[in-house]
Amino acid sequence: MARAWAGLVVDEANLRVNIASLRKCLGEGKEGTRYIVNLPGRGYSFVAPLTRVRVEASPGKFETIRPPDPRSGNQPPVSVSEHSLPERLGRLIGRDASVRAVGEMLTKHRFVSIIGPGGMGKTTVAISVAHTMLEAFNGAVYYVDLVSVSDASLVPSAIASVLGLKVQVQDPKPSILAFFGARRALLVLDNCEHLIDEIALLAEWLYTSAPQTHLLATSRELLRVEGEHVHILPSLDVPPVIEGMTASTAMAFPAVELFMDRVAASGVQETLTDEMVPLVAEICRKTDGIALAIEWAAGRVRSHGLRGTAELINSRFNLLWQGRRSALPRHKTLQAMLDWSYNLLSESERRVLYRLSVFVGPFQMEAAHWIAVDTVLTEAEVTAAIASLSDKSLLSPSILNGSSYLRLLDTTRTYASAKLAKSGEVNAVSRKLAEYLIAHLNRNHERQNGRRAMDRDLIQVGNMRTALLWAFSEAGEGELGVRLAALAAPYLLELSLLDECHRWCQAALLRLGSRESSTTHLILQEALAISALFTRRNGDEVRIPIEQGLRLARTLNDPERELRLLAGQHIFMCHIGHFREAVEVSQRSIELARRVGSPAGIVMSEWMLGAAYHLVGNQTHALQHIEKGFKQAAVHGTLKVDLLGFGHQIRALTVLARTLWLSGTPDRAAQVAYQAIEEAEQTEQPVSMLIVLLYASPVFLWRGDVEEAEALVSRLNQHFSRYSFGPRAALGLALSGELALLKGELWTAAGRLCDALDNLYAEKLVMFTTSLSRSLSEALLECGILWKRKQ
């Protein structure tokens, strides 16, 4: 084995398992045939006779035959119109050769990094390459902009979010790998340099683990990992110093073409003439052909004129680059370029720019005023400075969700952040950011703008994260962090950033302590309980937050949150197999809902009670309460009862279907199961879909409907692959085992059920263990084996 797998650790037991699988594939043992034997002193040997067959092929055409990947059937094609790419970033000038070269490298080597200094145009090239390869990847192209991710541990979550994965556990990497699987796809990782270590490890892991996934990264430095091939993005060609160069000759150089294009875009409608060529060529040479520097220079022509711009560049660049322009390291070139641009600004523009660097991601004018206005700068002056910074390409305007936003380029923000640090205003500006977000989110909450406000403010999560990082740092103000964490929690939950929600709520509660009982305290406790229910093992980490939240809700007389926490406690009791306690929780919930006159609470509680009685084994009571809940829902019009990312009516329908089958009406049970599936599909909620597949699949297993059961179990396992549900993934394995039992695949059934039960007991998710143990016993008895499980 040391010779066969040099440098790798290969366990002998694993080798035996794979040899056994190979023998099975070959059909060894049929009619006495033998293919592989274990020879003493030599190991495994292929002993069947071999025949050499010559296969004629067409000249120049060869075909490699590979075994089909069993996972590939579960990868649906992606429409070319459904990719996650942003639009091409304007007109591409001077980069056609790079786009072609990167595309060819990517096809051949799978993993390419575009390397160059900030402002060179790496993002533009990467997006253009990705667009050209959409058809080749059947639309499966995913673009991740990492500029707004400041915490390296959140890189996997950022990738999962772009892939559309609802992250429910601490580590989304298994779900990312499951998503790609055998899928032929292209993942673009843009702006990697500030998280280089984490991204390098992640990229190498994806490259080695997902052999059909291609990776395209942009960074200022190499990732330096296995599989990486590098394309150094060169400067745009600039005109040499030649006397008498004509305009037509100069325009053949991409740097000149880009300069004139951006001059026209700034509003100066002027055609390059032979007389202008020397000045334009000089400006392009002084910028070293760096695209962003050229754009900044072009942006000054309107206010300073062509000659004035050239003189400004000359005065600055002569000081720093005289005699060694071509030898400057790229990061120093970027520093010099940014220094030059910064020195062209007025004092008020500089102050506004470095204060705005506190934003990570888009921000609106109102937010800019809140951060930049002080006793020195008036609101009018800040507005004028922002307009000037936009003209000079230091701020990028955009339209998001129908509203106008501004954003600093990542290189600009990094540079301006350093200026902010030198100014001594970091804490003051960070405090203003936290105060702005608190005021903004509070205002939306008071206006009760609901879904629209939340959708609009989801893009503020990066700024919320930045403010929270500061607030809970040594230099920060924990009181602001507590208030902001309570306001940010619903947005983190909406984006399924459950582990991050748990982190900030826990930090806020530790800061808050037990010295007060406030609505803020209750909001944090509720969010902590919700996030723990889906990210932590069923134990004290889930139980204690729920119980503390319930006590606080009663103290503050907040029946709405108490009802939600009782629903969470009911789910927890069901998970750990305490079904009679679940009945008691449901009864307390219905009493509270009736006392406070909450129609939605009454409906939800009736359904909770029905589910608890179903698990206890009293199907008559279960049917009564489930149907009673639906009747009251029809009267009050409160069918949409949502909590914790799923609709309670979906859960109620699945419980009704199971109860109907157990009550002797299998056809109606199937009808209700189909209704539950249809309604879950309409919600587009991952948790609702999980519940319906998990609860409805057994109805068809019990009916002996192999075809339908197989389709649902397959969908369930695909769902587990796409979304992260922690220990619940073992339930997919369990239902696969029950399906195998139904199909008579006894050994497969026993193995799957045994493994599933081990995992479920370890995670204290015992709701289904009784029925699964019965199925395992049946499989083992059918195999003729006496199985005594050690308790």
Domain boundaries, the chain: 1-65, 80-232, 247-343, 345-424, 427-524
Fold equal for 80-232 and 345-424: no
Closest by alpha carbon to 396, among 703, 404, 666?
Answer: 404
d(CA 29, CA 18): 17
User: Is residue 481 pLDDT above 90, yes or no?
Assistant: yes
Query: Which are the contacts of 205, defined by CB distance < 8 A and separation ≥ 6?
Result: 173
Q: Span 345-424: which CATH code?
A: 1.10.10.10
Query: Which are the contacts of 319, defined by CB distance < 8 A and separation ≥ 6?
Result: none
Task: Taking residues 419-438, report their average pLDDT.
Answer: 95
Closest by alpha carbon to 589, among 546, 639, 540, 538?
Answer: 546
Cβ-defined contacts of 516-522 (< 8 Å, 24+): 517/552, 517/555, 517/556, 518/556, 519/556, 519/558, 520/482, 520/483, 520/486, 521/552, 522/549, 522/552, 522/553, 522/556, 522/558, 522/561
What was the pLDDT predicted at 458? 78
What was the pLDDT predicted at 81? 45
Q: Positive or negative, the Cα torsion across 131, 136, 141, 145?
A: negative
Residue 50: which pLDDT band, with cuts at 50, 70 and 90?
low
Which residues make beta-bridge pairs with 186?
141, 214
What was the pLDDT predicted at 140? 92
Distances (CA, A) of 228 to 8, 94, 107, 205: 21, 25, 13, 12
pLDDT in tens, 315-373: 544 323 332 233 233 334 457 667 767 887 889 999 999 999 999 888 999 999 999 99
Q: Span 80-232: which CATH code?
A: 3.40.50.300
pLDDT in tens, 252-261: 999 999 999 9
Alpha helix positions (H), 556-685: 559-575, 579-596, 599-616, 619-636, 648-662, 666-683
Which residues make beta-bridge pairs with 764?
none
Structure tokens at 564: 């939600």
- Region of 244 please: left (phi>0), alpha (psi -120 to 50) or beta: left
Percent residues over pLDDT 90 in the chain: 48
Task: Taking residues 659-670, report their average pLDDT.
Answer: 94
Torsion of CA 19, 24, 28, 30, to 10 degrees: 160
User: Is residue 77 pLDDT above 50, yes or no?
Assistant: no
Higher pLDDT, 107 or 224: 107
Amino acid at 309: T
Lowest mean pLDDT across 67-76, 384-393, 554-563, 674-683: 67-76
Closest by alpha carbon to 137, among 93, 173, 87, 103?
Answer: 103
Q: How deeply is 453 buried, as exposed, middle or buried, from its count of CB atoms within 10 A (0-12, 13-18, 19+)?
A: middle
pLDDT in tens, 83-134: 668 887 667 899 999 999 999 999 999 999 998 867 788 889 999 999 999 9
Supply the angle between the helices 478-494 and 461-471 in degrees, to the nearest 10: 150
Which residues make beta-bridge pairs with 406?
363, 397
Q: What is the pTM of this model?
A: 0.65
Higher pLDDT, 297 or 230: 230
d(CA 738, CA 724): 22
What was the pLDDT predicted at 16? 59
Structure tokens at 655: 């419980």
What was the pLDDT predicted at 3? 53
Task: Taking residues 717-735, report their average pLDDT.
Answer: 80
Distances (CA, A) of 88 to 128, 206, 231: 6, 26, 20
Lowest mean pLDDT across 318-327, 412-421, 708-717: 318-327
